[in-house]
Amino acid sequence: MLRMDAGHALLDDAFVLVDDDRIAALGPISEAPTASEVNHVEDATGCLVVPGLINAHQHHWYALLKGMSEGLYLEDWVERVMNPAAAALQPDDLVVSMRLAAAEMLSSGTTTFFNHSVSETDLSTVTALAEASTATGIRQVFGKELRATVRTGDIETHHADVDTLLTRYARPVEDSLFTVALAVESGEHWIRSGAMTPELARHAASLAERFDVRISDHVTGGTLDRSVIAFRRAVSSSRRVCFLAAASSTTVSLTDAAPKKKPPAAWPCARRPLNPQKPGGDRSHASAGFPHPP
């Protein structure tokens, strides 16, 4: 057993006592309760017992697209694969893919995940996804997409659905198997499409403050510029115009001068170096910060 304390102690012969859905005790096997004192004994001999893993960034229905169109640049993949798939998928397909994604994660030790929604979802669809996810026992933070424009329905209904879902599901992660946060897009191709605007960024920041939720964002220049030199030139000429600093309720332009305000340390970023030869190019993901499960 590998403990997540400061010393990361490794116990060769150990036990974990679970009471309902909480870890009640753990320690050396010599201190374990007897078989007659518990309802069930699971023999994990030869296994490594660790806390549940956390997947900080997931698109649950992408599991249906595995192995398709590898090698495409990000924007090409979005236009040729993701958008057509998103338009074709029905609510029942999304529910099935939710069960599939949950099963894959649970089978590999992931017990909590952040689901960044990139497709348009209405109130009934998110409710169905919540029921499907909760039934598997996995813990999910659903990043509800927030857009300045929508392909289906009207923008007023879209924003009303966001408010309703946050009112219904926004709460501390440890209190529920399904909670809702926000997901926005400040990638260049999203800005060009009109889905992200400075006004929407300010609205997202106000919602985050009002409901005390985090915002997930694909902060990326994308691969519209096919070389490192072209990408850096694009950034310095302010084509990236909507960097989101939600915690400070500020929208700033990213120019050759450093932004005056930056997201605080409480908003962790996982960064990947620029590589235009791989789909996605340069990405920085500001994820929803959530605690490890007990």
What's the confidence (pLDDT) of residue 250? 36
What's the confidence (pLDDT) of residue 290? 36
Classify the C-alpha dihedral 145-147-151-156 as positive or negative.
positive
**245-253 — which CB contacts under 8 Å span 24+ positions?**
245/205, 246/201, 246/204, 246/205, 246/208, 246/215, 247/205, 247/208, 248/205, 249/202, 249/205, 249/206, 249/209, 250/205, 251/198, 251/201, 251/202, 251/205
Q: For the chain, where do the domains classified as CATH 3.20.20.140 start and end?
A: 53-286
Closest CA to 27 of 1, 55, 60: 1
What's the confidence (pLDDT) of residue 4? 78
Q: Is 5 helix (H, G, I), strand (E, B) or coil?
A: coil
Are 16 and 1 in contact by the 8 Å Cβ rule? The answer is yes
Tens digit of each residue's pLDDT (9 = 90 or more) over 204-243: 999 999 999 999 988 765 566 555 566 555 544 434 433 4
* Cα R_g (the chain), whole angstroms: 21
**What does the alpha-carbon distance between residue 203 and residue 111 come to, in Å, rounded to a whole number?**
31
**What does the alpha-carbon distance between residue 218 and residue 143 come to, in Å, rounded to a whole number?**
12
Q: Could you read off the pLDDT tens digit of each residue along the chain, which spans 294 residues?
A: 887 778 888 888 889 999 987 889 988 889 999 988 999 998 988 888 888 899 999 999 998 988 877 788 877 888 888 889 998 999 999 999 999 999 999 999 999 999 999 999 999 999 999 999 999 999 999 999 999 999 888 999 999 999 999 999 998 888 799 999 999 988 777 888 888 888 898 899 999 999 999 999 887 655 665 555 665 555 444 344 334 443 333 333 333 334 344 444 333 333 333 333 443 333 333 333 333 333
What's the confidence (pLDDT) of residue 63? 87
**What does the alpha-carbon distance between residue 252 and residue 108 come to, in Å, rounded to a whole number?**
40
What's the confidence (pLDDT) of residue 188? 74
Q: Name the strand (E) or helix (H) holding 202.
A: helix 198-211
**What does the alpha-carbon distance between residue 59 and residue 114 come to, in Å, rounded to a whole number?**
8
**What does the alpha-carbon distance between residue 269 and residue 156 come to, in Å, rounded to a whole number?**
31
CATH fold of 53-286 reads TIM Barrel (3.20.20)
